[in-house]
Structure 1
Amino acid sequence: MPNLNKNQKKAVETTEGPVLIIAGPGSGKTFTLVERIYYLITQKNVAAENILVSTFTEKAAQELMTRVSNRLHEANISFNLNEMYLGTIHSICLRILEENREFTRLKKNFMLMDQFDQQYFIYQKLNEYMELPNTELLLGERTSRWKKAEMLLKWVNKVSDEMLEVEKLKNSSDLQVKALGYCYELYQRHLEEENALDFSTIQLEAYKLLKEQPQITKQLNEKLHYLMIDEYQDTNTIQEEIIFLLGGKRQNICVVGDDDQGLYRFRGATIRNIFEFPSKFEKGKCVQIELTTNYRSHPSIIRFYNQWMEHNNWEFEGRRFRYDKKIKPREEEHSDFNHVIKVSGSDGLGNWEEEVYEFLMSMKEKGNLTDWNQVAFLFNSVKNDKVKSLAKYLEERDIPVYSPRSNMFFEREEIRLLIGAFMFLFPQFPKVRKWNENADLVEWKMYDQCLREFATELRKPENKNLLKWCQIRAKEHLNLHTNTDYSFAGLFYQLLQFDLFNRYLEQDSYKVKDTRPVRNLALFSQLLTKFEYLHRISVFTPKTINTQITTFFNQYLRFLINGGINEYEDESEYAPSGCVSFLTIHQSKGLEFPVVIVDSLNNTPRKQYSDLDKILQENYYRKEPFEPLDRTKYYDFWRLYYTAYSRAQNLLVLSCQENKSSGQGTRNVPSKPFVELYKPLKSWRDTNYIYQLEIEKIKDVNIKKEYSFTSHINIFETCALQYKFYKEFEFSPVRQGATLFGTLVHQTIEDIHKSALRGEETNITQENVEHWFYVNYNNLVKKERVYLAPQTRQAALNQVLKYVERQNNDWSHIKQAEVDVSLVKEHYILKGTIDLIKGENNTVEIIDFKSEKKPDLIKEAEKLYHYKQQLEVYAHLVEEKTGQKVSKMHLYYTGEENSNPYVTFPKDTKLIDKTIQILDKIVKKIEGKDFSLKKRPKNHCRNCDLRFYCDAKL
């Protein structure tokens, strides 16, 4: 076992029963978790499917998966990690729901909404909520409809997260509470009608499943022997309930966290979960372990943030709301200098930006700072004008800033030009936009400014072709007589043929700071396709075009501008090379940086709850309040800055524009909570030793990516350029009916197979098959907002019915349907899904369905050879996963009407290693960003949205 300290070793080897690990900052928490999983696998012989590990973010889950697989790979241990329940609590709940969907309200192809989708979903139906009694008391009368939707979103999520009893709310004598009960009931009805889930109801539906279907809970209890829950201080009420239901009678629940870093009360997280965990079990049964040795920070930084916590009062009415612990540095030689300093503007001079810039430049020129990414600025918010001004100041002086959450998306040149282009292409908008003669929206001024910026570009000689094209299109849109074959997203892809826009797509570097424009364009494409999806728009028509553009500009785009859009964040590179990072303190949780500059020292503790919060907490929550409500603002404030200070490895900097209040509405900066520790700090100008400090490099975040044949390998082999834009940069394609056709055929065949596997062959009648087909179609249409023409739909149904007819009522050969298989390689993970049928001599055969006609075996031999390679790897994975011998592999072409629909290959073990080597080369090309094309795959171009760009550039 590697170098574990005494307490880490105890945490790793204490596997039975409940365990609480209090892990301070920099204490090797992830390292300990990796070793604990490794110990369970190697010393306790625990199978992958018997382990559940919950992390706070998907990125943390990916990193953990990578580190565990690397650890196993080093020890030459073959292990199917993908069988583990590893992810966020949300993603684990989603997996449980998908595996047991028939026991829930959910139908196939349910829609999963993010926060914006959820708010827009409520906004579109807001009239129904406003018709309910007393809703104005809950949402306010004078607020905008968008703000009302935002407020309602907050309250319905709170009801889900706290599992409040809706009937009790509806019967309340408090009119606000009563309104909330009725609004929540209506919201749940809307979700069911739309076959939709939001992030809170993922957990609620999982909880209902576990409570109402004890046989499912029993199956999961029998499967899940060991649970590990990271960041337990940030779990909420319903998450705690789900964890204990999954833990079952074994109670092998290990929770890891740090009460000092509990930051997410505003999302419903409750610090009580980590404090009360030991009391959930018989006295003395829960083993409590502290990891308090900090391997990250210099002792003076540790001393500073220990002082910060200790000089605050955590006691109230005889109770203490903090675990007593003292973080200590690792035992080795350290410099005696104080690694906590200040970089601040002097009172009355307003020179903060200049001081920050000069400090950074001096560290680069005189010190050991080698890459700007070694520096992170932490703010309470990155969206305010002061922070944006500093970013602009630094960028103007050639210090690039990575600040993806600063609401700068709509200020980027490439986005403003796109908005200007759309304004130009719809010359009727200035007339139709004014639904209220008195309205004068700030967004309209922005749109007009974007139009002026675009018009300036159009006047340049190099853009004459774009000008001509735009004039023709604008005239057509103004006097539209027939339906177009495109909508907003289609127009976007047409614009990419012109140099004004396609210049952003040409880049030599894949560093985040160099790809920002192309990634912003990709994000804009996602916003356009989402709008078309939400409003069921596929083309412009003479009757609807004016309504569509009004809705797009006056509602959708306007709300996005108001709410703000985050720019691209690289999951595998949290501190991009060449940039200083501007992050919120919340965003920095779990990260570490050599130099941390903490700003927002004007901040003070603020109340985070409303009167309604108090009423709900005191009268409707499942438990009595834990922390005294009027103290929570202080506790949260202290925890927030403790988290900020403890991110620093080599140098912690406190920074502000100092200000001594003149009593005229200004406040002291730094504010009172910071003064005691801030005042003794030396200015950077008085600390020459900072130039001798060793500044560490940013650690590589090694994340293994997942690749599937259909979603990755096939696309790359078909067209590497298509892969570059759709997969690497995540451009959103305009939905294609062809995809819907194949999915529909596959899903209905899956229904047939599952019916056969349940022993219900008699249910496989034409009437039932047609019913399954149309249920799948209606749910797919609801989800994808794409329709098949009646004759196309009938063709898909005919393929399924022909398949059933060919089986001649004999389904005994079906072995398994929709089997997920995966291969964890040294540098990547390969995934796939196949069906199994029974073979001769206790073997199995693989079958992969293709919803098309059988290809010409000679003319399309290369295509078939590619499919054969794919099946060979699937065969290898099936044998690895199930231990069953694969004898044959089949392609089944459901579109083949007359001849034999099968193409069959024998399994050749000798070829599998060769095929995997080929895959290794493909993945190496993908990860090496080699998207070069020898020649265009003309057959595929006609259905590709990027064809306009390729026609212009290739």
Structure 2
Amino acid sequence: MAFDFGNANDEQRIAISSTDGPLLIIAGPGTGKTYTLVKRIVYLITEKNIAPEEIMVATFTEKAAKELVTRITNELYELGISLNLNEMYIGTFHSICLRILKDHLEYTRIKKNYRMLDQFDQQYMVFQRISKFRQLPCYDAIFDDGEGAWKQAGKIVKYVNNLAEELVDIEQMQSDGNEEVVAIANIIEQYQIIMEDENLIDFSSIQTETYKLLNEHPDILAGLHEKIKYVMVDEYQDTNYIQELLVFLIAGSAQNICVVGDDDQGLYRFRGATIRNILEFPGHFKNGKCKQVKLVTNYRSEKEIIDFYNTWMSTTDGRKYDFLWRNFRFPKEIVPGKDNYREGTSVIRCSGQEIEDDWYEAVYRFICDLKKKNILLDYNQIAFLCRSVKNDRIIRLIEYLEEKGIKIYSPRSDMFFSRKEIKEAIGCLMLCFPEYLRKLQARDFDYNFAELYDYYDGECIHAAKELITTHKDSLGRWIAEKMIAHGKLSQGNTDYAFVGLLYQLFQFEPFSSYLDIDMKSGVTDERPARNLSMLTSVLGKYEYLHRIDVFTEKNIDSGVSGFFNHYFRFLFDGGITEYEDDSEYAPSGCVSFMTIHQSKGMEFPIVIVDSLNGTPRSDNNQLLEDIETRYFHREAFETRDDIKFFDFWRLYYTAFSRAQNLLVLSCCEKSGRGQTPSKYFEECYGKLPYYEDADLNGLKLEKVKPVNIKDTYSFTSHIALYENCALQYKIFKELGFTQVRVGATLFGTLVHETIEDVHRAAMRHEEDTINPESIREWFDANYSTLSKSEHSYLGPGQLDSAYDQVIRYAENNKDKWGLIQDAEVEVSLVKPDYILLGKVDLIRGEGDTVEIVDFKSEKKPDLIIESEQLNKYRKQLEVYAHLIEEKTGKRVSKMHLYYTGEENGVPTVSFDKSPEKIDETIKEFDEVVSKIQNKDFSSRANDKKLCANCDMRHYCKRKGDC
């Protein structure tokens, strides 16, 4: 049967079927890039007989990866082709590199149980250890005496992140005659020492450690070449130096590399991305070897919109602009591909005159007019794009529209701290600590953070006192009790810290009502609950970093002031991004406000582009430029003068090309100083009609396309949790609340990880090393990293018991090491509406028949009393067995639960695999997932023991649910 290319045009067909050797696909906006990628992967699998696990696809964002996974699995499912998704290398560069590192951790500086740092974590980690950096030679050469520790930490992180992925030679830099260069080299060296000593990893080191691993271990690289036959990279224009190195390293001599991107949409130079990677890609191969395909037929936008942004990219030389693209852009012109085009205008302007309020009113009237004429059917058909959504002018516009009744979705506007529910929660928490409250009112602190203290005192405390006035007998009494208790901790510790205290607060109004939200109500109505969830995350992270498990007489004052005056202050200054849903980038009922960078890859029926006062600017750092010139492995590509123009034009090209039906340029027009629009927009802006004068009759807007992303679920953390208690699922999975850390899992994880080390040794045919001495080494190493990462510890008796479980397992199974075929095997069940994920602890057997084993670090249960729980385990193992048979082609004869805590009797509970029951089990899982996806969280736990240990017990008791 001939391959089904669907609606692919001629260029797309060439891109889909050109599989061997290097291929460059230049894909302009709206030209079906994702469609082409998906079809190309399916073509490789169905026409070239390439196994899915032999294809690597690197994307720029997690969202893009999820969408690719969904579309690929849907196509293959319709063709009756099953695949184990876990074996396919598809994801961001970082997630793919992390997978490679996890498979070979023993060959890296990273140990098990490492902690991943995001950018805020990085800066806070450096801040906590700033004295180590300040002691470095030449440190003062790059920092002013008056600069605070937090600001210095931010600069250190910037230097580290900018230079790490360029693989600069630190030792060479330390010999430089320039003290500033030496200072940066010393800082990077110290940073790397801390990361290794404390088993930390950041986004930069994920890639550098992977590159180092593959370079230093040719056998591991050769193994990767055996697995991966085809490499595909999306958004190649946004890759950096080390990502290019990794692409060519992993592809190897076969050079089956397909890169896809648009040089006109390269926006991420500030993250180290370089446009040279896509422009120079063909030059890495012999003349004519690299095939090039241009996708230029746009199926997204009206013709007038396409003409507008084509003109924008081509009109660059002249009196006002005076720059040429030369060889820094692939010549191309986007052509319209829609069947029918609108006769009326599709590019207009909507502006105010001189006064911001005039502009706000113009935008509001424009939206209202569209609504009144029934052109606008849903507010989500409008996206407002600007350079920064944190700008005061933009925030005032957001507030203006919300006051007029238009809901806004703008999670990156740093409005977290202005939200009512957050001020209420912070205020109530503060009132619980009388000593902190006294110091706040007297401003009796070492540092004068006036804006922060005014926020606490004038807004948070005020909001909390208003609540107490309304709820004096409930909330007011509880806060009074906490004030007394926290003032008398010499009489004993609490059994909670910050997160536990917040969960107690949730039993009272209005917090309980925030959590009662119907999850079908929409993102803006869910926002209070989502923001409270983020607050639990912030509190939990602080507890973890400062090792505060409960309040004691020793830690309560320093812990509370440290949180509110330092940790929270850094977040207050830097901002917290509110909740974003990957599966709903334009929620119904809301106008979306987002940055131009954020909008990349998206499309909206109406796009309003602001920031027309912008001008091309150089972001020069002379010291970093000097290091780039002398220590980077490649000479500079574009000149500094060119860069500011190139990046400016690419940014607005990306913005303009998001529009499907109507493109609106909007600003508060001003003359003189701060001229708006700036001279760079005068020509294109001046020709546009005002929206009042434009012919919008007959304008029909597309509906916002739903994001095509399948949800993924795991057996234990999703299916089992929902079956135990749907409310727990809603709170901890759906809304993402942070659970109070429970140290009890440390014991089980320690046993499990050490048994995994035993299995790995057996799989390496190193059975002679599986002895008490080696097991003790593995055990101690695992405990060291686990206790450090968890900030939890086991007593001597617990450690002895955990070690005995591993030794007993090794002794009882020493004659079975040769039967081990695989361990820690990830499996997946791909369904039309979701993907189910799981992990098989052990596969063992001979020939074509195997058994699977799941480990439990506890004593064997009573088979009658615990029959319901055992039945759940059996169902899970049945699906595991089914997936292992599909993956390996081998028959699973037995399924075992192995209880390592069993000392005297038989440690296993065994089940025969029953093919008849598998369909029934999968059907039950379908029903559970259907309830989750339909937001049915009405059922409650029947197990009182489960309720007694649940963080939500105070909330449920007050509501009478338990």
Q: 1:28-47 to 2 correspondence within 5 Å? A: 28-47=32-51
Q: Provide the rounded CA distance (Å) in 2 between the counterparts of 1:341 and 1:229.
A: 36
| Deviation (angstroms), 1:435 | 7.3
SS in 2 for 1:706: strand
1:935 is displaced (CA, Å) by: 4.9
1:788 paired with 2:794, answer yes
Flag the 1:934–1:348 CA change in 2: closer, same or farther, 3 A: closer
Pick the aligned partner of 1:501 from 490, 493, 511: 511
Q: 1:465 aligns with which of 474, 486, 493?
A: 474
Normalised by the size of structure 2, how large is the TM-score? 0.96
Residue 385 of structure 2 contacts residue 594 of structure 2 at CA under 8 Å; is this kept in 1? yes
Q: How do 1:287-298 residues align onto structure 2 when only pairs under 5 Å count?
A: 287-298=291-302
Give the CA deviation at 1:934.
Answer: 5.1
Distance change >3 Å, CA 793–CA 457, structure 1 → 2? farther
Amino acid at match of 1:502: S
For residue 889 of structure 1, give the secondary structure of its aligned residue in structure 2: strand
Whether the 8 Å contact between 1:315 and 1:321 is mirrored in structure 2 is no
Shift of residue 349, structure 1, vs aligned partner: 7.8
Could you tell me which of 638, 656, 662 is aligned with 1:627? 638
2:290 corresponds to: 286
Q: Distance in 1 between matches of 2:273 and 2:927?
A: 45
Structure 1, residues 326-356: CA drift from partner, whole Å, max 9, x if none?
A: 0110153312322000000024584000010
Where 2:351 maps in the other structure, the secondary structure is coil
Deviation of the 1:316 alpha carbon: 6.8
Greater Cα shift, 460-469 or 699-708: 460-469
For 1:330 and 1:743, the matched residues in 2 are separated by 56
Alignment partner of 2:230 out of 226, 231, 234? 226
SS of aligned partner of 2:823: strand
SS of residue matched to 1:858: coil
- Comparing 391-400 with 437-446, greater Cα deviation is found at 437-446
What is the letter of the counterpart of residue 707 of structure 2? Answer: V
Q: Counterparts in 2 of 1:495-574, with a 5 A limit?
A: 495-510=505-520, 511-574=522-585
Seen in structure 2, the aligned counterparts of structure 1 residues 906 and 292 have a Cα distance that, compared at 3 Å, is same
SS at match of 2:937: coil
Question: What amino acid is the match of 1:614?
Answer: E
Say if 1:349 and 1:478 are closer, same or farther in 2 by CA, change over 3 A: closer
Which residue of 2 is the match for residue 937 of structure 1? 943
1:106-144 C-alpha deviation (Å, 9 max, x unpaired): 111111111111111111111111111222332433322
Partner of 2:499: 489
Query: Which shifted more, 98-107 or 936-945?
Result: 936-945
Deviation, 1:320, is 2.8
Q: Helix, strand or coil for the counterpart of 1:875?
A: helix
Going from structure 1 to structure 2, the CA distance change for 1:842 and 1:262 (only over 3 Å counts) comes to closer
**SS state of the match for residue 140, structure 2?**
helix
Aligned residue type for 2:915? T
CA-to-aligned-CA distance 1:912-952 (integer Å, 9 cap, x gap): 11111111111111111111115542121222111111111
**Contact 1:893 1:902 survives alignment (8 Å):** yes
Q: Work out whether 1:952 is the aligned partner of 2:929.
A: no
- What amino acid is the match of 1:901? P
Contact 1:839/1:888 (8 A) holds in 2: no
DSSP-derived class of the 2:471 partner: helix
Asked if structure 2 preserves the Cα contact closer than 8 Å seen for 1:588 and 1:647, the reply is yes
Partner of 1:194: 198
Once residues 66 and 316 of structure 2 are traced to their aligned partners in structure 1, the CA distance between those partners, rounded to angstroms, is: 37
Tell me which residue corresponds to 2:409: 402
For 1:644, the aligned partner's letter is: A
Q: Identify if the C-alpha distance between structure 1 residues 398 and 292 changes in structure 2 by more than 3 Å, giving closer, same or farther.
A: same
Cα distance in 2, alignment partners of residues 253 and 569 from structure 1: 33
- Does the aligned pair in 1 maintain the 2:344–2:697 contact within 8 Å? no
Offset, 1:653: 0.2
Map of 1:843-858 to 2, 5 A cutoff? 843-858=849-864
Deviation at 1:807, TM superposition (A): 2.7
Distance 1:3 1:437 in 2: 67
Secondary structure of residue in 2 paired with 1:811: helix
- Residue by residue over 1:351-370, the C-alpha shift from the partner in whole angstroms, topping out at 9 and shown as x without a partner, is 00001001001101104211
Q: Counterpart of 1:634 in structure 2: which amino acid? A: F
The amino acid that maps onto 1:448 is D
In structure 2, relative to structure 1, the CA distance for the partners of 1:442 and 1:708 (3 Å cut) is same
Q: Does 1:268 align with 2:296?
A: no
User: SS where residue 339 of structure 2 aligns?
Assistant: coil
Secondary structure of the structure 2 residue equivalent to 1:197: strand
- 1:898 aligned to 2:904? yes
Cα 1:139–1:58 change in 2 (3 A) is farther
- Cα 1:509–1:869 shift into 2, 3 Å: closer
- Structure 2: how far apart are the matches of 1:624 and 1:114? 30
**1 CA distance for matches of 2:10 and 2:632?**
41
Match status 1:338 vs 2:345: yes
* Structure 2 CA distance for aligned equivalents of residues 884 and 495 of structure 1: 54
Q: Which moved more, 1:311-320 or 1:332-341?
A: 311-320
Name the SS of the counterpart of 2:692 in structure 1.
helix
Query: 2: distance between equivalents of 1:633 and 1:349?
Result: 28
Q: Deviations over 1:51-74 (max 9, x none)?
A: 000111000000001011111122
**Are the counterparts in 1 of residues 428 and 461 from structure 2 also a CA contact under 8 Å?**
no
Name the counterpart of 1:256: 260
Moved more, 520-529 or 818-827: 818-827
Distance 1:619 1:461, change over 3 A: closer
Q: Match for 1:421: what amino acid? A: C
**1:712 equivalent among 718, 722, 728:** 718
- Compute the TM-score of the two structures, normalised by the length of structure 1: 0.97
Q: Percent identity?
A: 53
Contact 1:139-1:151 at 8 Å conserved across structures? no
Deviation digits for residues 236-268 of structure 1, max 9, x if unmatched? 011111111011000011111111100000111
Aligned partner of 1:273: which letter? N
Partners in 2 of 1:73 and 1:148 — Cα distance? Answer: 53
Query: Is contact 2:726-2:940 (8 Å) kept?
Result: no
Distance 1:556 1:450 in 2: 19
User: How is 1:752-763 mapped onto 2 (pairs within 5 angstroms)?
Assistant: 752-763=758-769
Whole-angstrom CA distance in 1 between matches of 2:798 and 2:270: 49
Cα deviation per residue 1:458-506 (whole Å; 9 max; x = unaligned)? 4424342221111121122123112222111111111111123111101
Cα separation, partners in 2 of 1:348 and 1:490, compared to 1, 3 Å: closer
CA distance in structure 2 between the aligned counterparts of 1:837 and 1:759, rounded to whole angstroms: 16
The 5 A counterparts of 1:629-778 are 629-661=640-672, 666-687=673-694, 689-778=695-784
Distance in structure 2 (CA, Å) of the matches to 1:329 and 1:616:
45
2:173 is aligned with what amino acid? Answer: L
Q: Deviations over 1:879-904 (max 9, x none)?
A: 00011110011111112222211111
Tell me, what secondary structure is at the counterpart of 2:751?
A: helix
SS at match of 1:606: coil
Gaps of 5+ in 2: none
Sort the Cα spacing of 1:435 and 1:753 in 2 relative to 1 into closer, same or farther, 3 A. Answer: farther
Please say if residues 519 and 729 of structure 1, whose CA atoms lie closer than 8 Å, have aligned partners that are also in contact.
yes
SS at match of 2:280: helix
Sort the Cα spacing of 1:81 and 1:812 in 2 relative to 1 into closer, same or farther, 3 A.
closer
Pairwise CA distance, 1:609: 2.3
Contact 2:300 2:338 in 1 (8 A): no
Q: Deviations over 1:219-238 (max 9, x none)?
A: 11121111110100000011
3-state SS in 2 of match to 1:581: strand
CA contact (8 A) 2:133 2:139 kept: yes
